[in-house]
Amino acid sequence: MTVNIFNYRGYHEKGVVRNDKAYISCSETVLINHPFYGYVYNYVKLRIYEDDSVEIIAQYVDPQTYEIKMDEKFLTIFNNGTNEGGIYFYK
């Protein structure tokens, strides 16, 4: 996933949008043909927090009804090369 556009919720907004920590978020939606669900939007959202924790939300969404067919949430930490974090970023 290429991060081209992102949203920053900083220190001055803590508590305003139900966030206790500053974070950067980005998302991407791609239409795929899934073997079980057929054509669905594959939606992925990343939220990277100031303490290096990361939340990943993945959903399959019906393109006609917008019904969520699959909904998963993953929690990890940013991998800095010396820990066991599950997400990397590359230039």
Per-residue pLDDT, 23? 84
Instruction: Render pLDDT for 20-61 as a digit per residue (tens, 0 to 9).
Output: 788 888 999 999 999 999 999 999 999 988 899 999 999 999
- pLDDT class of 15 with cuts at 50, 70, 90: low
Model-level pTM greater than 0.95? no
* Distances 33 to 19, 28, 78 between C-alpha atoms, Å: 35, 16, 30
Burial class (CB in 10 A: 0-12, 13-18, 19+), 56: middle
How many angstroms separate the CA atoms of 48 and 53, rounded? 6
Q: Where are the domains of the chain?
A: 29-91
DSSP 78: B
Query: What 3-state class would DSSP assign to 13?
Result: helix
